[in-house]
Amino acid sequence: MIDINWALVAPLIAIQVILLIAALIDLARIHATNGPKWVWAIVIIFVNIIGPILYFIFGRKTS
């Protein structure tokens, strides 16, 4: 059995969940994105921590 150091893993899980929720809420509220919204939703959900960060850097269309 593998011992998991939850003191290190729990903050990473919390950061991932917060980023995922924030990115999905922003995606739902924003009108225009760089690319289709459904593609960004898949990236946000399935690319773990990096997906929401990529969305905030490249996915949001600046006015």
In a domain, 24, yes or no: yes
3-state secondary structure of 36: coil
In a domain, 53, yes or no: yes
For residue range 1-60, what is the model confidence (pLDDT) as tens digits? Answer: 788 888 999 999 999 999 999 999 999 999 888 889 999 999 999 998 899 999 999 998
Share of the chain above pLDDT 90, in %: 63
Residue 24 domain boundaries: 8-59
Residue 63 has pLDDT above 70, yes or no: no
In a domain, 38, yes or no: yes
CB within 8 A of 43, min separation 6: which ones?
51, 54, 55, 59
The 10 Å Cβ neighbour count of residue 52 is 26
In a domain, 3, yes or no: no
The 10 Å Cβ neighbour count of residue 17 is 10
pLDDT of residue 2: 83
Q: Retrieve residue 11's tokens.
A: 């903050």
